[in-house]
Amino acid sequence: MHFTLIPITLALALPAFASPVETVEKRTAVDFLNPTDGGGSWLDMAAPPLGEPLNVVVSGLSSPELLDLSSGVFLKYAEAIGFDTECLGLHLGGPQSANLGDGRGYVNQTEELRESYGVDGSIGTCLETLEGGNHFRVFPQAGTNAIFLAVSQEQDLENSHNIVPNGYDVGRDALVAGAVGKTTYFDLLEFKTYTFETTAVNMTGLIAPGSNGVNHGIAQDGIVTLLTVTYST
């Protein structure tokens, strides 16, 4: 498995093209546990036997408040990088599940967040529902508290939200480009600013590149991006 650091100064660059890079031979295991080591998979279960790549991981070395999904801080982070809860809180279709190798087997996603098009609140995601855009599913890993994300860019409602060509890589790259560096979210109800600092590392050797086992038969490049997020107010 190989890692590539993405410098903060390249926040707007796509991870696949980040340069210069530094190779990291080892990282502490508390970032996450490799799902395959515990009998899991880097593909979730979308349309059995096909799955969608878990192509972004929020490191277990991130701020504890962020990793505690019950705290609400992760949602503020999602809002800071351009995502929000689903349109009017409504969800169509069944949840996907993932086996993260943490001894729990396949567990349903905890939530699905959609691109908000710069509009505060879930009303913004109604545009994504109609027009298509980026979205991700959330899967926490027991033991490490790392959060695995299945990110993809999808078509509009008329095209049944099918994934766009190269949509797994495109969705991942867009999320990472919007997350790396400093982002903030101001909560009007709390009158409070949430501040996040994000660094990113590209990892290879975890998912085999290509379309084997991948939903919709869409090939992906095999890159998983590890985000480490520091939260402050």
The dihedral through the CA atoms of 183, 220, 21, 225 has a sign that is positive
Q: Which tens digits make up the pLDDT trace of 47-96?
A: 999 999 999 999 999 999 999 999 999 999 999 999 998 775 555 567 99
| Residue range of the domain that includes 140 | 2-232
Q: Which two three-digit tokens encode residue 86?
A: 């689903």
CA distance 157 to 48: 23
CA distance 150 to 28: 23
Number of structural domains the chain divides into: 1
CA distance 87 to 80: 17
CA distance 233 to 231: 7
Task: Please tell me the pTM assigned to this model.
Answer: 0.84
How would residue 182 be classed by pLDDT, with cut points 50, 70 and 90?
Answer: very high
pLDDT of residue 92: 57
